A and B are shown apart, each in its own frame.
Chain A
C-alpha cells in the first residue's frame, strides 16, 4: 500500500528503476564517474594545497607503476587483496554477511607462523610447507565454521558473530606475539627463519612475489568456475536469492551454509598463508591490515564476479599506492591521499546508483504513480 498516493502535488523529481541497460552504457557511466571524481579531486587539491592537479596525478601513476619493482609490488598488493575478496565472495553470494575475513585470514597466518617457529627444526622443508598449508586452511575454515554452525542451527546474526571472531583472533595473535617475541619481551616476533628461510615461499624467476600472484590467479579462475558452473555454486546462488525457492527444490539450506562458509574460511586461511609465508615472514595483529574489510567492497563492486574482482582490487590497490606516493613526494600528510582515494571511491560507488536508477524530473502532465 503506498501511503503518499494521495498527495496532490508531484515531487520535483522521481527516482525510477531502470530496466537493464546495455554494457557500453554502463561502462560509459562508470568512466564518466571516474572522470568526474578526478576533476573534483583535482579542484580540491588545487584549493587546499595550491599544487597542480596534473602533476599530482602523474605522481600518483608514477608511484603505482613507475618502475618495474613498483609494478611487482602493485601486483603483489592486488594478489593479497584479491585473495581475501575471493574468500568472502561465496558467502556474500549466499547473503551470509561474513565480515570476519580479517580474523579468518589472521588465524590462517598464525597457523603458518607457528609452524615456522615450532616445526622448522623438526621437519624437512617440503614437509614443513605441506603442514603449513594444511594448518592454515584448517584454522581459517574453523574460524568461519563456528558462526556458520550457529547461523544454521540457531539462526544467530552472522554479522555480529563474524565481527566478534575478528577480535578473538587478534587477541590470540597478540598472545603469541608476546610468547615468541624476539628479543624476549619486545612484543613482536620479527622475521622468522631470516637466515634459513625455512617455510618461506621460494622466489620464481627471481621474483619473490610471483608465487603469490600465480596462486591467486589460479584461485580466481577456480572460484569463477566453481560459482558459475558447479552444482555447489548454483546452490549458493539459489540460497542467496531465495531460501523459499531453495526449500521448494529440496536444497538443504543448512548444509549449504556450512559448506560455503568452510570454503570461505579456507580461502581466508590461504590468504593468511600468503601473507605470512609469501610476504611478511612474521605475524602481528596488523598482518591482514584491514584487507578483510576492503575485500567486502572489492567483492560488491565486482558484483561477486571473481574475474571482475581483479579490476576492482586493481583499482583500490592502485589508488592506495598512488596516494602513498603523492603524500611523500609533495610532503603532504597521509590524510590527504586518503581524501583523494575517498573521493574517487565515492564516485565509483555512486555511479552504481545511476546504472540502476534514472532520475525523472517533474513534467507538466501528471504521471501515473509507480512505486
Chain B
C-alpha cells in the first residue's frame, strides 16, 4: 500500500448531547480512493468538515504526511492541501468559471485572468475534465458547476480531495465521466475521499471503504474483498429490540390506491417514477429510503401539493363506498370531497405550523374556513389546544405561546395532535420523531398505533430502520423515486431493506 496522506486518530465531536463522531480512526493513502459509507446522520459529513476546517474536533489527532496538524479553519485546510467539494455549490452565478476559481486567492505577482485561464486549461487537460473556463456559472449544468468546484480546489494545489455525495445530483452519464476523472486524479497520486451511500458506486470506484454507523467507526475493508451484503450489514448493523407495541388489525380494506404516479420537476429530473402501492385501513405502511429519494414528493402528491405527470391516486371512501381520484386536486378540493386526509410534513415549522402564531391559531389552520361567517371562531380551537396540551403533555406556558418558542418535541406533539384531532381516514407522517427524545418518540409511536387500531390508514416515512421494522406492518422502500420493494415488516431484516434502499436496479450508472 502507498504512504498515508492523512491519518485520523480517535476523532470525537459532540454537539450538545449528540455525539456526531466517536473515536473515529481513518487513513487515506496517496494514490487511493477511499469511500466513506454510512446512513443519514451517521456522521460522515461532520467528519469531513473537521478535516476541511469547518468544525474543530473535541478530541483526537490528525496527521498529514506523518506530522500532527491542527486544522482550525478552511484556510488551514488549504495550507495542508486539503480541498472539499460540498454537496451544495458555493459559486457566484454571474461570474465565469475562471473568475470563480481564482476568487479569494491572494495573487502573488500580477493579476491576470489569461494566465489563470491557461493554468485552468492545463488542469482540465491533465485529468480529462470537460469545461470551458470562460463560461458563466448561470449558463452551466449541475455537472459543470461541480467540475468548477473540483478545479477550484485543484487550482489551489489540493492533494487530498473530499467529495460530499458527488453523484447525488448527477445523471448516470455524468457520474461515469466524474469517475473517470477521479481515477485519473488517483493515478497521479492524489488522495481522494468520497462520501456516499450508494453501494454500487463504492464497489466500482473506490479502493477501500470505511463504514460509519451512528457516529461510530465500524471498520475499513478493501473493496476487492467485500460485497454488497457485507457492506450493508456493516452500515445498518444488527437489529435492536425497541419493544414498540404492534397490534394486528383484522379487517384491513384498501383505503388509498396509488397507481403508476410519476413526477418530473422543472429541470427534467424524475422525482417519482411509476410509483404503485396500496395503503390499507388499520395498517401502518412504512416508507424507507435514503433522504431525498422522493418521499417528500410522494406524500405531497397525495396531499394535493405536487403536480403529477401521470398516474392515479384513488381513495376508497369508507362511508359512501365511492372511489375518488385525488390526482391534481387542491387540498381544499380534497377536503370538500369528504376525504379526511391528515398530513404531518417533514418541515414542521415551515409547513405544518406557523411558528409565530400561538397554539390556538395553529389549531385554526386546518379548519378556519368552517362556517359562513367572515369572522374566525376561536372557541373550539381553544378547547382543542387545551385538550392537546393536557393529553399529550405539551410543555408550554400557555395555549397562547407562539409555537416557535416550544421545544422540538412539543412542536411535534402540537402538530400531530392537530392532525389526529381531525379524525382522519388517512394519516401521513414524515419523520415524526426526528429530533425528539425517547419519551416523546414513544408517545408518537403510541398515537400512531392507536390511529391504526381505530382503522386509519397510516403512512409513515421514517429513517430509523429499527423503528420501521417494529412499528410498521409493511415497509415500502423507495430508491431514486422508484419503489424497489414492499416487504412484510414481521419477516424482513435490516439487511433486506438496506439493500433495497441502496441497490441500483437500472445498472446504467455503473461502468
| B-chain residues with CB within 8 Å of residue A234 when the two chains form the complex | 361, 364, 368, 376
Residue pair B368, A242 in contact (C-beta under 8 Å): no
List B residues 357-380 near A (Cβ within 8 Å): 357, 361, 364-366, 368-369, 374-376
Q: Which of A1, A5, A20, A244 contacts B56 (CB 8 A)?
A: A5
Would A237 and B357 count as touching, CB distance under 8 A?
Answer: yes
Interface residues of A in 229-252 (CB under 8 A from B): 229-234, 237-238, 241-242, 244-245, 247-250
Stretch with Cβ within 8 A of A (4 or more), from B196-204, B348-356, B489-497 = B348-356
Q: Is residue B335 within 8 Å, beta carbon to beta carbon, of the partner chain? A: yes
- Chain B residues within 8 Å of A250, by CB: 304, 330-333, 335
B375 touches A5 (CB 8 A): no
Q: Flag if A6 contacts B405 (CB, 8 Å).
A: no
How far apart are the CA atoms of A249 and B304 in the complex, in Å? 10
Contacts of B55 in A (CB 8 A): 5-6
* Chain B positions within 8 Å of A7 at CB level: 72-73
Q: Which residues of A contact B330 (CB under 8 A)?
A: 250
Contact present for B351 and A242 (CB under 8 Å): yes
Asked if A364 is at the interface (CB within 8 A of a chain B CB), the reply is no
* CB–CB B73/A6 < 8 A: yes
Taking the complex as formed, is B54 at the interface, i.e. its CB lies under 8 A from any CB of chain A?
yes
B347 on the A face (CB < 8 A): yes
B180 located at the interface, meaning its Cβ lies under 8 Å from any Cβ of chain A in the complex: no
Does B345 interact with chain A (Cβ within 8 Å)? yes
The docked-state distance in angstroms from the alpha carbon of A244 to that of B365 is 13
Name the one of A1, A229, A245 contacting B354, with C-beta atoms under 8 angstroms.
A245
Interface residues of B in 397-449 (CB under 8 A from A): 401-402, 405
With beta carbons under 8 angstroms apart, the residue of B54, B361, B364 that contacts A1 is B54
Report the separation of the CA atoms of residues A220 and B507 in the bound assembly, to the nearest whole angstrom.
67
Does chain B have a CB within 8 A of A126?
Answer: no
Indicate if the CB atoms of B374 and A231 lie closer than 8 Å.
yes
Q: Which size bracket describes the interface of A in this complex? A: 20 to 34
Which listed residue, B16, B71, B305, touches A248 by the CB 8 Å rule? B305
- B343 interfacial contact with A, CB 8 Å: yes
With contacts A20-B405, A237-B357 known, is A245 near B351, CB below 8 A? yes
Q: Say whether A245 contacts B356, CB under 8 Å.
A: no
Residue of B nearest to A6 (CB): B56
- Contact at A230–B352, with CB atoms within 8 Å? no
B282-321 to A contact mask, C-beta < 8 Å, 1/0: 0000000000000000000001110000000000000000
Query: Is B354 touching A248 in the complex (CB atoms < 8 A)?
Result: no
User: Given A230-B374, A232-B374, A249-B365: A241 and B354 within 8 A (CB)?
Assistant: yes
Residues of B within 8 A of A238 (CB): 354, 365
B304–A6 contact, CB under 8 A? Answer: no
User: Is A366 positioned at the interface, with any CB of B under 8 Å from its CB?
Assistant: no
Residue from the set A229, A234, A250 with the largest chain B CB neighbour count within 10 Å = A250
Q: Are B350 and A242 in contact (CB under 8 A)?
A: yes
B49 located at the interface, meaning its Cβ lies under 8 Å from any Cβ of chain A in the complex: yes
Chain A proximity of B221: nearest CB distance (Å): 30
Residue in B53, B303, B361 whose beta carbon sits within 8 Å of that of A6 in the complex:
B53
Separation in Å of the B264 CB from the closest CB of chain A?
Answer: 20
B343 adjacent to A231 (CB under 8 Å): no
Shortest CB distance B172–A (Å): 30
> In the docked arrangement, what's the CA distance between A234 and B374, Å?
11
CB-CB nearest in chain A for B330: A250
Complex interface: chain A residues within 8 A of B357 (CB): 237, 241
B375/A230 in contact, CB under 8 A: yes
Cα(A247)–Cα(B303), bound, Å: 10
Max chain A C-beta neighbours (<10 A), residue from B332, B351, B364, B401 = B351
A196 within 8 A of B: no
Cβ < 8 Å to B, chain A residues 1-42? 1, 3, 5-8, 19-20
Contacts A3-B54, A234-B364; A248 near B352 (Cβ below 8 A): yes
Q: Among B332, B350, B405, which residue has its beta carbon within 8 angstroms of that of A19?
A: B405
Contact between chains at B352 and A245 (CB < 8 Å): yes
Cross-chain contact B355 with A241 (CB below 8 angstroms): yes
When the two chains form their complex, are residues B305 and A237 in contact, meaning their CB atoms are under 8 A apart? no
CB-defined contacts of A231 to chain B, threshold 8 Å: 368-369, 374-376
A183 CB–B CB distance under 8 Å = no
- Chain A minimum-CB-distance residue to B370: A231
* A-chain residues with CB within 8 Å of residue B332 when the two chains form the complex: 250
B343:A248 contact, CB within 8 angstroms: yes
Cβ contact within 8 Å between A242 and B374: no
Contacts A6-B73, A234-B361 given: A242-B354 contact, CB under 8 Å?
yes
Give, as a whole number of angstroms, the nearest-CB distance from B18 to chain A.
12
A20 neighbours in B (Cβ, 8 Å): 401-402, 405
- Complex-state Cα separation, A268 to B282, whole angstroms: 56
Bound together, the chains give a CA A229 to CA B361 distance in angstroms of 11
Which residue of chain B lies nearest to A238 when distances are taken between CB atoms in the complex?
A: B354
Bound Cα distance from A232 to B361, whole angstroms: 14
A50 within 8 A of B: no
| Binary flags per residue of A204-244, CB closer than 8 Å to B gives 1, else 0 | 00000000000000000000000001111110011001101
Bound Cα distance A5, B402 (Å):
30
Q: What separation, in Å, do the CA atoms of A218 and B54 have in the docked complex?
A: 57
- Partner among A6, A229, A230, A247 whose Cβ is within 8 Å of the Cβ of B72: A6
Q: Are B351 and A248 in contact (CB under 8 A)?
A: yes
**What's the least CB distance linking B62 to chain A, in Å?**
13
Which residue in chain A gives the minimum CB-CB distance to B364?
A234
B16 in contact with A368 (CB, 8 Å): yes
Residue of A nearest to B305 (CB): A247
Chain A residues contacting B374 (CB-CB under 8 Å) are: 230-232
In the bound complex, residues from chain B placing their C-beta under 8 Å from that of A6 are 53-56, 71-73
Q: Give Cα distance in the complex from A7 to B72, angstroms.
A: 7
- Docked Cα-Cα span, A3 to B304, in Å, equals 39
B331, B332, B355, B375: residue with the most chain A Cβ atoms closer than 10 Å:
B375
Encoded as 1 (CB less than 8 Å from any B CB) or 0, chain A from 244 to 280 comes to 1101111000000000000000000000000000000
Is there contact, CB below 8 Å, between B72 and A249? no
A304 and B83 alpha carbons, distance in the complex (Å): 48
Task: Evaluate contact between A245 and B353: CB separation under 8 angstroms.
Answer: yes
Whose C-beta in chain A lies nearest to the C-beta of B366?
A: A249
**B304: nearest chain-A partner, CB-CB:** A250
Contacts A234-B368, A245-B365, A247-B305 hold; do A229 and B351 have CB atoms under 8 A apart? no
Q: With A6-B56, A248-B345 given, is the CB distance from A1 to B49 under 8 Å?
A: yes
Report chain A residues within 8 Å CB of B368. 231, 234
A124 to B292, CA, bound (A): 69
Return B263 CB to nearest CB of chain A, in Å.
16
Rounded to whole angstroms, the CA-CA distance of A3 and B368 in the bound complex is: 43
Determine whether the beta carbon of B405 is less than 8 Å from that of A249.
Answer: no
Least Cβ distance of B384 to chain A in Å?
Answer: 16
Cα-based distance from A234 to B378 in the complex (angstroms)? 12
Minimum CB–CB distance from B138 to chain A (whole Å) comes to: 18
Q: In the bound complex, what is the Cα–Cα distance between A198 and B361 (angstroms)?
A: 48
The distance from the CB of A5 to the nearest CB of chain B, in whole angstroms, is: 6
Residues 43-63 of chain B: 1 if any A CB is under 8 Å from the residue's CB, otherwise 0?
A: 000000100011110000000
Contacts of A244 in B (CB 8 A): 347, 350-351
A225 CB to closest chain B CB, in angstroms? Answer: 8
* Pairs A–B under 8 Å by Cβ, sample size 16: A5-B56, A7-B72, A7-B73, A19-B405, A231-B369, A233-B376, A234-B361, A242-B350, A245-B365, A247-B305, A249-B331, A249-B366, A250-B331, A250-B332, A250-B335, A368-B16
Taking beta carbons and an 8 Å cutoff, which residues of B are in contact with A? Answer: 16, 49, 53-56, 71-74, 303-305, 330-333, 335, 343, 345, 347, 350-357, 361, 364-366, 368-369, 374-376, 401-402, 405
The 5 closest A-B pairs by CB, nearest first: A250-B331, A6-B56, A250-B332, A241-B354, A244-B351
